[in-house]
Chain A
Amino acid sequence: MSVPGRSIAGRVTRAGPGVPRMARLAIAVATAWIVSPPGAPALAVPPGAIASPGSSAGQIAPVTDDAVTAVARQLRCVVCQNLSVADSPSEMARQMRDLIREQLAAGRTPTEVTAYFVARYGEWVLLAPPMRGFNLVLWGLPFVALVGGLGLIWRAARRWTRHVAVETGPVAAIDSADRQRVRAELDRLVD
């Protein structure tokens, strides 16, 4: 964060109320993120979209595109750079979507279908790393950085306001000769 204004007056008026506003904004952003993390697994599958496990063999029950996409969105397209299986136009992604549809139609749950891919490609295939083990560092680090950053801002803000108090002291104490000289030089500047 840059120093808001170089003048003493600027520091007094801007640094004070500016920091809590920043903090409020940061907390609001963090809260929004906790409530809905970006790339959170979308496991919501419309009820009735998956065939019951008891459906007769050989008969492919209809699986909605939304149900297939919900699973495909969690999986990394293995032949692309940073595209999900749902978004990739590649042949392999299309084959994977067909496989997802087939497995859902066979009565597997979305979790079982993603587990099938994880067993073959590793956790790498998941676009959102699961929240456990070492991955927790990955999920937690942004919050640690946020809290640390807020702490630094808070400290810096305290230092700025303290400096103001120190710097205003001597200003009031200049003698009349200095005051006259400052006034004279200011007058010359104005002219």
Chain B
Amino acid sequence: MSRRLRWLAPLAALPLLGLLAYAFRTDPRAIPSPLVGRPAAVFTLTTFEGAPVRLSALQGRVVLLNFWASWCMPACYDEAPVLESGWRAYRERGLVVVGVAIQDSAEAAQEFIRRFGLSFPNAPDPAGRLSIDYGVYGVPETFVIDRRGIIRGKHVGAVSEAALRETVEPLLAESAG
């Protein structure tokens, strides 16, 4: 390399450094869901109590579809009371929380429901069909479905009280039309 162009060598490393700087600032686990903005896939589940839960029957309400597992420690244990209190606080205004226990045994999942006194519908996900259909890759994950049945957001990790409030409030204010 000629002496005149020698200063170009460190310059060539700049794009690479820029790429690394950008990449290290992003969360490698935060993978955007292609489902956001699209109609939520319809499902029919049967709760642990044997009651049917149909998404189509929940049209017109804001749905928090929460995927959890009793072995998901501590995130699912952190958010279970938040979901329960959120459901109690907003159910009158049209919020439904639907819990789906994935890759869990019925006994362990029911013990979890008892432990936190969960009163919103919770159902197992036999053969993992619903979690695959929603592109779930871990627990907890929560899909936010608006009154028109469109997936408006996906929350990865434990839902905090503030996050629940900030997500749900504006959607409850929307009309179902």
Contact = CB atoms under 8 A, between A and B. Distances in A.
B26 to A, nearest CB: 13
Contacts of B135: 120-122
A2 B103 CA distance: 55
A171 to B, nearest CB: 25
A126 interface: no
A1 interface: no
Interface residues of B, number: 18
Contacts of A119: 34-35
Contact of A96 (B32, B34, B35, B132): B132
B112 to A, nearest CB: 17
Nearest to A122: B34
Query: What interface size band does chain A fall in?
Result: 10 to 19
Contacts, number: 43
Contacts of B35: 119-120
B94 to A, nearest CB: 27
A95 interface: yes
29 contacts: A78-B137, A78-B138, A79-B138, A91-B103, A91-B128, A92-B103, A92-B128, A92-B131, A92-B132, A95-B128, A95-B129, A96-B128, A96-B132, A99-B127, A99-B128, A99-B129, A99-B132, A117-B132, A119-B35, A120-B34, A120-B35, A120-B132, A120-B134, A121-B31, A122-B31, A122-B32, A122-B33, A122-B135, A124-B31
A64 B135 CA distance: 26
B134 to A, nearest CB: 7
B133 interface: yes
Contacts of A96: 128, 132
A119 B103 CA distance: 22
A181 interface: no
What DSSP secondary structure best describes chain A's contact surface? Answer: helix
Nearest to B139: A79
Interface in A72-127: 78-79, 91-92, 95-96, 98-99, 117-122, 124
A155 interface: yes
A155 B34 contact: no
Given A78-B137, A79-B138, A121-B137, A95 B132 contact: yes
Nearest to A148: B12
A118 B31 CA distance: 13
B139 to A, nearest CB: 9
B1 to A, nearest CB: 7
Contacts of A120: 34-35, 132-135
